[in-house]
Structure 1
Amino acid sequence: MPRRGSGSLSVKNKWTKTKWLLSDSGLRRFVPETKPFTRNSLNGMTARYKMVYFKPTTGTGGGGIARIDRTGAGKFRVKKDARTFEASSTASLFGLLQKIARGRSYLLQKGIYLQSSGGRPFDLRMTMQKAEGGRWVPSTMFVKLGKRNKVVTNYHQGGKLELVGQTLSRAGYSPAQIEHYKRRLKELGMQTARCFDRRSPRFRELGLDVALDRNGRLWILEVNTRPNFSALKSLADKSLYRTMVRYGKMYGRTR
């Protein structure tokens, strides 16, 4: 159920939010194939994709997420946190994932091979916030640089935050390419904000987790309806944190 807190509507169910994105003709091509976890969906997803992510339907900070890699015909490796498991069939893989889920609802999502910078995979965060008068503003964008050998890039899973230009430049992108991706992130943010507005005008902040794959394509991995502010304090440049706080004051998230 949608929840309201600190002046903005919050929806924790990732499947609900994914279905909203898929219902938008302009956004659905940016969403990796995602299915609720069942035996049939597992068989189909692992047949189609060499890498699949197993993620809780609700949850924050990258907790509970596992990565499934197909290593051969009917053989799989599952990595969760610092542990690795092997499965010799889709049936044994299903049983293993059931143990990880422990009765909780989970999703399967096509794995995206992330671009890397300095040998570390990264994804991008585009934060949208409402200004006075209900106008959406692309307030901040930054990079979540993953810790080596981690399943996710999240700050609370050992990741590091960086500025977009800094990371993309180190990854070999030209200034013109960097500006292109910044512009595309803002466009995706605005499209997503309009999509969520059609569901309820009470959304006042959104955090898009966007993957940049090795072919240069952008993918919306998920949308957070209560994006984290405090992690931005880890940046030497405090202007991004101050910007989020300034907009947050307009709808009661911050003081």
Structure 2
Amino acid sequence: MLRKDSGSISVKSKWTKTKWLLSDHVLRRFVPETKLFTRSSLNEMTDRYKMVYFKPTNGTGGSGIARILRTSPRKFRVKKDARTFEVSSASALFDQLQKIAGGRSYLLQKGIYLQACRGLPFDLRMTMQKTGGGNWVPSVMFVKLGKPNKVVTNYHQGGKLALVEQTLQRSGYTSTQIDHYKRQLKMLGIQTARRFDRHSVRFKELGLDVALDRNGRLWILEVNTRPNFNALKSLADKSLYRTIVRYGKMYGRTK
């Protein structure tokens, strides 16, 4: 579960990291309900929520994720990658998801209806990095804009990166609201870093994927302990990439 890299460690298990977040009295209200995939948890989650995400416990880059939509009391539509199929019972849904899982561990997470910018759904990334002195710094934040028909917003799944202020302005938020969200993102990043430090001081970087829902509420979708840096090169503004590289040098991630 822990992977040593340049003196730092990485935790792949989304379930482990979710439990850490839920153990924090500040963070737990920002975490969508998440359960390990079983027949009973599937019935419970699809009864409670119209949209549920089906995620591999150890997946990366948005791969292997499916979206479940309850279209009527007994019917469900599942979308994974380019494939969409419908089933007419909870039992049939479980059987189909078991095939997708292929024996691997999966999670079920309450679906969050993402805010959109000019028709493109987006979520926010808050990156935390450690200085040479071992102090956490909220280094960069940016937006991941998804394709309209994609299940996830990830860059490796066809998404694009954008700047936070620009995106929120285009989505109709005021400067005061944008400043509020930026402060909240930094608070979530710092609180998450402190919580992860309780499990190991060898974490050097964290990437929080944070959803902004259509009601204006923030949700921590997951935390990456080895976030992707290279996608930032795609931005016309190279300052974010230079910042993340500068901090990365302090703990050996970048040269």
- TM > 0.5 fold call: yes
Q: Which 4+ residue blocks in structure 1 deviate beyond 3 angstroms?
A: none
Count of residue pairs the alignment pairs up: 255
Any stretches of 5+ residues in structure 2 without a counterpart? none
Which residue of structure 1 lines up, in the alignment, with residue 121 of structure 2? 121
Q: In the alignment, residue 153 of structure 1 is paired with which amino acid?
A: T
Q: CA RMSD in A?
A: 0.6
Q: How does 1:168-187 map to 2 (within 5 A)?
A: 168-187=168-187
Whether the 8 Å contact between 1:7 and 1:253 is mirrored in structure 2 is: no
SS at match of 1:194: helix
Q: CA offsets per residue over residues 114-152 of structure 1, 9 Å max, x none? A: 000000100000000001211100000000000110000
Per the alignment, residue 39 of structure 2 pairs with 39
Equivalent residue for 1:81? 81
- Distance (whole Å) between structure 1 residues aligned to residue 16 and residue 224 of structure 2: 12
In percent, how many aligned pairs have the same letter?
A: 80
What corresponds to 1:63 in structure 2? 63
Q: In structure 1, list runs of 5 or more residues that go unmatched.
A: none
Aligned to 2:198, what secondary structure does the other structure show? helix
Checking the alignment, whether the CA contact within 8 Å between 1:121 and 1:145 is kept in structure 2 is yes
State the Cα deviation string for residues 33-56 of structure 1 (Å, max 9, x = none). 000000000000000000000000
Q: Do residues 216 (structure 1) and 219 (structure 2) align?
A: no
2:235 paired residue number: 235
CA distance in 2, matches of 1:8, 1:208: 17
* Partner residue in 1 for 2:147: 147
State the match for 1:190 in structure 2: 190
How far off its partner does 1:74 sit? Answer: 1.2
Give the whole-Å Cα distance in 2 for the aligned partners of 1:146 and 1:168: 15
Q: Paired residue for 1:131?
A: 131
Q: CA deviation at 1:64?
A: 0.3
Provide TM-score, normalisation by structure 1: 0.99
Q: State the shift of 1:94 in Å.
A: 0.1
CA–CA distance in structure 2, aligned partners of residues 148 and 27 of structure 1: 29
| 2:72 match | 72
Structure 1, 45-54 or 172-181: larger mean CA deviation: 172-181
2: CA distance, partners of 1:156 / 1:178: 27
Residue 101 (structure 1) aligns with = 101
Corresponding position: 1:167 with 2:167: yes
Where 2:188 maps in the other structure, the secondary structure is: helix
